[in-house]
Amino acid sequence: EPEVTQTPSHQVTQMGQEVILRCVPISNHLYFYWYRQILGQKVEFLVSFYNNEISEKSEIFDDQFSVERPDGSNFTLKIRSTKLEDSAMYFCARSTGPDSGNTIYFGEGSWLTVV
Amino acid sequence: AQSVTQLGSHVSVSEGALVLLRCNYSSSVPPYLFWYVQYPNQGLQLLLKYTSAATLVKGINGFEAEFKKSETSFHLTKPSAHMSDAAEYFCAVSTNNNDMRFGAGTRLTVKP
């Protein structure tokens, strides 16, 4: 099954700036996720998104984060005011849904560096 | 909530030797279990998954894992390690609430 495609692959941003990370259009997918991986650490769940709504979010996903999928197009993660500790690899993912064992397929990741 | 624990953050084996990466899970409902591999500077690739069918699951690259409910384990094995197996391996668990939680990862090193 095809994985999701993410852009940009790498972004460097100044602390305090807004960043938007994108999954390119995949019109027939319903379940989406964002995960992040700080360098050398485990993969951490951020948020799950189903039927154009957030279905679950972790304690990491605070008010500076938001997700949207306007008009069934790109699935985006926005970080409003980046902090140094937001530097990480951010993975977009999709799943086949609970009827298929919740297998999650990951994109190649967007590497965010906050300076 | 479900969780997984990977025993050993770093495992080193010789080429041709058995690979054993340990994973124990915790879940209040029947879990789905997964192993993912991450090669340097790459994303996560699904190795194999357990979804309540056969307890011995075969994956890509010669890896397999066995679901043992009595031990709450889902250890990953490969009979003979290859240099190309060097990577980070993540065990993960999900349930019907459609999210997934990862273990801390195990870095596999293969010595020539």
In which residue are the tokens 């298929």 written? Answer: A100
CB pairs under 8 A between A and B: 70
What is the nearest CA distance from B43 to chain A, expressed in angstroms? 4
Q: Beta strand pairing status for B3-7 and B64-68?
A: unpaired
Interval B58-110: pLDDT, tens: 999 999 999 999 999 999 999 999 999 999 999 999 876 667 889 999 999 99
Interval A27-44: pLDDT, tens: 566 788 999 999 888 889
Instruction: Report pLDDT for A88.
Output: 96
Determine how many CB atoms are found less than 10 A away from the CB of residue B34: 29
Interval B85-99: pLDDT, tens: 999 999 999 876 667
> Which residue from B46, B90, B99 is facing A45, i.e. has the nearest CB?
B99
**Contacts with A41 from chain B: Cβ below 8 Å:** 104
